[in-house]
Amino acid sequence: MCGTCGCSENTEQSSAPRVVPLEQRVLAKNDELAESNRAWLRERGVVAINLMSSPGAGKTTLLERTLRDFTGAAVGVVEGDQETDFDAARLRAAGCSAVQLNTGTGCHLDAAMVRRGLEELQPPAGSVVFVENVGNLVCPALFDLGEQAGVVIASVPEGEDKPLKYPHMFRAADVVLLNKTDLLPHLAFDVRRFEENARRINPQVRVLPVSALRGSGLDQWYCWLEAQLPVAAG
């Protein structure tokens, strides 16, 4: 088993009749808690965005840049990592309220963890809360946290085939940010092919090429983010 997510491994000890019911129970309980989170956020007029990616794709750099540039609403962060509070410290230094959640051996955040983070964060009405999930392209896609939208950050060095290799993650995304486009002159990467692969998995997904480091393409990210806000908070 993979921590709390119920993912099975092909070992002699594993048996499908036991693994599948366990995974179903874990996910069903999580979904109940996620709906409770969703109601909690809705009552407060808070938008929650689940940020997911592989390690090193640029989630924290994107958040630092967003904190500097985005003026549409107050921003808070629930930060997930297995260990350390490095990223939360970076975001606090950028002027953001951030709560650190460490999962230990866990490979993702779940709805119960996020609820604890939200209660500690106490985001103001009309604000945006980014949930920076643990770097992982598998398990986070399975767990509803109560978010309004899911955003996957992919990066140019990872290659064009990631949507096909990790379909559940890209199927769960409302938006894919293709980050590190500043590296395109140095790598053999076809943006159009990446977009085609992403839409092959999820025909409705929006793919936004950006560079969190240079700032290019981020206007369209901020426009999308602005559109997620409640009308009363605009």
Q: By CB neighbour count within 10 A (0-12 exposed, 13-18 middle, 19+ buried), where does 45 fall?
A: middle
167-210 pLDDT, tens per residue?
999 999 999 999 999 999 999 999 999 999 999 999 999 999 99
Task: Give the span between the Cα atoms of 178 and 198, in whole angstroms.
Answer: 11
Return the CATH architecture of domain 21-228: 3-Layer(aba) Sandwich (3.40)
Q: Per DSSP, what are the bridge partners of residue 79?
A: 100, 132
Mean pLDDT of 89-104: 96
pTM above 0.85, yes or no: yes
Residue type at position 229: L
Q: Are 144 and 48 in contact, with CB atoms under 8 Å apart? A: no
Q: Are 6 and 26 in contact, with CB atoms under 8 Å apart? A: yes
3-42 pLDDT, tens per residue?
556 554 444 455 555 555 656 777 899 999 999 999 999 9
For 93, other C-beta atoms within 10 Å of its C-beta total: 10
